[in-house]
A and B are shown apart, each in its own frame.
Chain A
């Protein structure tokens, strides 16, 4: 148990020190560590945890860490991973706040940051491709068919959410609420119909 908490703390500490460019960047990093390396969480569960993190108030990175910590080691795990997540920004900003103008205007710092941003964009593209693969992977009930009702529905939600967020600037929380309502409606419809399509 103690070893698990140590791993959790140092993993979130290291991950938090590299989440440049917004909360979503923590997702490929958490996924790599907890799904691929440690295998403590499976792929679909990770997507669910991200959905919960995204629908809660506050920083996505902090929320995602709390959920991963809770999943791995309960309340104590959540506490340890929050601690790991806030220490790097707390420390870095505290140090920088004493000479932040010099830091902000430094050419070398800016070039390094611009380069890291390219890496961040590449890492996100990679995780999006992996997640799409999981979303559209073959399930047993598909019976080898390529076009299924589930896949078409997922594609519509995917494109709709993308367009709504990117081109209509709709706040993520409303998109999430709309999709959740759609999910509820679908489950009631199917229950009423008594069909076995899930």
Chain B
């Protein structure tokens, strides 16, 4: 019982204090999970970060589930995940209420107008990081002497055309890109 309570409190803190996305949350998660409670070793932490990047869903939620299972089985996973999302549920619903109540005010309009370009810039920056990761030469399996992953670039361009030109559903573009790359890997 004490363990479940600790899990909840730890992940509540992670959920409350992590601003700016999953990568900003990593040092916080490490502090709680490795340094403070010793639920995972440093190499175990490295493993979960790799797994979290390979699977869908937010890094913090993935870590909560993984750590919870390792420490206290399925109830642990549920409690840790619940702890992780509780702060967001309270804060975000409050902000949503405030947004819909006051979005007509001139000052709020001006703030939102100033945020829009910044948000697009953040998305572009995250996209560029993913693009670099996708084209990293160590990921290539054909023409390994090329300075970047040629297959990845081809898949990227193809996926972009399908998205832009044919307005394909992004879910199928993402899944399709995985499938095409996989088939190319089997062929070559």
Contact = CB atoms under 8 A, between A and B. Distances in A.
A90 B163 CA distance: 29
Interface of A: 14-24, 27-29, 32, 44, 47-63, 66-67, 70-71, 75, 78, 82, 85-86, 88-90, 92-94, 96-97, 100-101, 103-104, 108-129, 131-132, 135, 150, 154-155, 157-162, 165-166, 171-173, 175-176, 179-180, 182-184, 186-188, 190-191, 198
Given A93-B55, A118-B159, A15 B66 contact: no
A41 to B, nearest CB: 12
Interface in B53-97: 53-62, 65-66, 69-70, 74, 77-78, 81, 84-85, 87-89, 91-93, 95-97
Contacts of B85: 58-59, 62, 82, 86
B42 interface: no
Interface stretch (B1-9, B17-25, B31-39): B17-25
Contacts of B159: 118-119, 121-123
Interface string B118-133: 1111111111101101
Nearest to A170: B20
A71 to B, nearest CB: 7
A51 B116 contact: yes
B127 A119 contact: no
Nearest to B99: A52
Contacts of B118: 51, 157-158, 161, 175-176, 179
Interface in B99-139: 99-100, 103, 106-107, 109-128, 130-131, 133-134, 139
B117 A154 contact: yes
B145 to A, nearest CB: 18
13 contacts: A27-B123, A59-B15, A59-B25, A89-B58, A90-B65, A93-B51, A100-B47, A116-B181, A118-B134, A119-B175, A120-B130, A124-B126, A176-B115
Contact size range, B: 35 or more
A171 B18 CA distance: 11
A132 B129 CA distance: 19
Given A116-B178, A118-B152, 10 more contacts: A22-B23, A24-B21, A54-B20, A56-B95, A57-B87, A58-B87, A94-B77, A112-B179, A158-B117, A158-B121
A165 B121 contact: yes
